[in-house]
Structure 1
Amino acid sequence: MPVRLSGLQKEVVALYRQCIRESKKKPEVAQKHFIAFARKEFDKSIYLDKKDFSAIEYLMRKGKRQLEMYASPGIKDIK
């Protein structure tokens, strides 16, 4: 039986997938750096309580701002 995700959980997964997609647009050498950075950022909050909506929403806004910044064509690598 598949796991049912809440709307907020779906948004988090969508943001992660969008981060991975954006990393594929970067130079091949830098792609692994972007993916590792995204993974590390999501892992920081893995133990956050699922019902702490204000913290999750704050982190989603922060993540979207970071994604927008790092998706800029001027950003070639991240370390």
Structure 2
Amino acid sequence: MRLSGLQKEVLALYRHCLRESRKKPEATRAHFEKFARAEFARSLNLDKRDFGAIEYLLRKGKRQLDAYSSPGIKDVR
């Protein structure tokens, strides 16, 4: 199965989120992973052809990742 460019971007963002969670304290790492999974799962039923919504969610996700990957953030709830 070949993935579209947008699908590849979504998967890359997901992987990047999980990689960033490994940089967090071990006690709170699971919270970051659970948060990332929940955010992506919330949009699972989105129509693949709704490019505007997907691009918006990608931008939003990248902004959230930038915010949560700062060293000052130790936990997410």
Structure 1 and Structure 2 fold alike (TM over 0.5): yes
Which of these residues, 25, 28, 40, is aligned with residue 27 of structure 1?
Answer: 25
Question: TM-score scaled to structure 2, two decimals?
Answer: 0.99
- Aligned counterparts of 1:8 and 1:34: Cα–Cα separation in 2: 24
- Aligned counterparts of 2:56 and 2:21: Cα–Cα separation in 1: 23
- Aligned counterparts of 2:76 and 2:27: Cα–Cα separation in 1: 11
Structure 1 residue 33: Cα displacement: 0.2
For 2:41, the equivalent position in structure 1 comes to: 43
Identity of aligned residues (%): 69
- Aligned counterparts of 1:41 and 1:74: Cα–Cα separation in 2: 21
For 1:56, the equivalent position in structure 2 comes to: 54
Structure 1 residue 7: Cα displacement: 0.3
Structure 1 residue 23: Cα displacement: 0.1
The secondary structure found in structure 2 opposite 1:28 is coil
| Segments ≥4 residues shifted beyond 2 Å | none
- Aligned counterparts of 1:6 and 1:44: Cα–Cα separation in 2: 20
Structure 1 residue 48: Cα displacement: 0.2
Question: TM-score scaled to structure 1, two decimals?
Answer: 0.96
